[in-house]
Structure formats: C-alpha cells, structure tokens
Amino acid sequence: MDAMTVSVVLLWAAVLVLGVLVWALSRQIGVLFERVAPMGALVTDAGPPVGAESPTFELNGLQSEPVFIGGAQERPTLLFFLAPTCPVCKKLIPVLKSLRRDEGRQLRIVLASDGERAEHLAFIRAQGLEPMPYVLSTELGLAYRVSRLPYAVLLDALGRVVAKGLVNTREQFDSLLNAHDLSASSIQQYLERRAA
C-alpha cells in the first residue's frame, strides 16, 4: 500500500510539473509570435525608390500587344520579373494566375524578362500565361535594377513605385499588395510605424 501511495503522489507531481511546463511553453510561443513580424518581400535599395515615379516604357508584348509601363494607368500594375529557367519563378506561376483571377479587375499583372523570344514563347504556352502581357526588355530590368529573380514591382495607377522586392512565396506577393493598401513601402515599415 505504501508503494502505491508513493507512486500516485509522484504521478500527480509529474502531472503538475508537466502542466506548468506546457503553460510556460505556450506563454513563450505567444511572446515569440508577437516579436517575429510577418516576412514580406525583401526590399532592395536599388532602382527607383518607393514613392518615386516609375520610368515609362512603351513596349510590345510577346503576343504583339502594346504594353505601357509607368505613367497614369486605369489600375495599379504588378510588374513581375521572371525567367523560364528560374525554378522559383515556375513555382510562383500558380500564384500569379490566382492573383490575376482574384485581383484582375483591380490589378494589372505584367510579366517581364529578357533573352530569346522563341524560348519565352514556348514558356508562355507551356505555362498557360497567354492572358498576361509578357515583355522582353533588358532596359526595363536595368531601369528597376533587377539583380535577382523573382522580383516584383508594384506601381499605383499614377505610375509611382508603391512597393518592390524579391518574392518567393504567395505571402510575399500579398505583402506587396498589403503595403499598397496600408500606404507603406513594406509590411516591416507599417509594423514599425504602428509600434511607434
């Protein structure tokens, strides 16, 4: 009987210790969640700064459509720089299609790259990108100082750079759109303003 009582007491003590540990861990997770801000697109200092007017371009798309970048437009423009050989870019194509489907009336998506026309036409067909304007322009990439892919620039309807940065996930695309909605250049800037 004595051994049974001791084991029950020890088990209850273990349950109480485990309960305190679970409470402490959940509290620590909550503190960590508050400290870790959402990760938006990686903003670079190169190219036109946020808030500046975008350079203007009159280009022809790969499907012979006229494509105007910069200046006043009917709606904001998401300029997405990609390459057929970029695996992350290919991973983001369903995200672009989803954005076009969900935001198409409020946002124009333009795909941009450089290189061989035939390679890009095959890429457009293989990935089903025909509904989106697709331009080849080295000058466009140089104007925005695109050094790594995939890269996105969001322009407002007046042609000003609203947000920009490297994008690798849907969340980073959303961070560009949220930055536009919140009138901040990035989610990090918005959180810093809110904390101040």
CB 40 within 8 A of CB 176: yes
Q: Is 169 exposed, middle or buried (0-12, 13-18, 19+ CB in 10 A)?
A: middle
Rg over alpha carbons for the chain, rounded to the nearest Å, is 24
Q: Phi, psi (5° rounding) for residue 149?
A: -115, 155
| Cβ within 8 Å of residue 106, ≥6 positions away | 75, 76
- Among 173, 167, 172, 194, smallest CA distance to 182 is for 194
User: What is the residue-averaged pLDDT of the chain?
Assistant: 87
CA distances from 108 to 36, 42, 97 (A): 32, 22, 12
Q: How confident is the model at residue 169 (pLDDT cuts 50, 70, 90)?
A: confident
For residue 54, the 8-state DSSP code is P
Structure confidence by residue, pLDDT tens digits, 48-86 = 888 899 999 999 999 889 999 999 999 999 999 999 999
Is the domain 57-195 a CATH 3.40.30.10 member? yes
- Domain borders along the chain are 1-36, 57-195
Structure confidence by residue, pLDDT tens digits, 114-158 = 999 999 999 999 999 999 999 999 999 999 999 889 999 999 999
Inform me whether the pLDDT recorded for 3 exceeds 80: yes
What is the rounded distance in angstroms from the CA atom of residue 63 to the CA atom of residue 71? 22
What is the rounded distance in angstroms from the CA atom of residue 70 to the CA atom of residue 153? 11
Q: Phi, psi (5° rounding) for residue 28?
A: -65, -40
- Among 175, 35, 190, smallest CA distance to 95 is for 175
The predicted pLDDT at position 40 comes to 52
For residue 38, the 8-state DSSP code is -
Q: Is 18 exposed, middle or buried (0-12, 13-18, 19+ CB in 10 A)?
A: exposed
Type of residue found at 36: V
The predicted pLDDT at position 1 comes to 64
For residue 48, the 8-state DSSP code is S
The predicted pLDDT at position 130 comes to 93
The predicted pLDDT at position 185 comes to 59
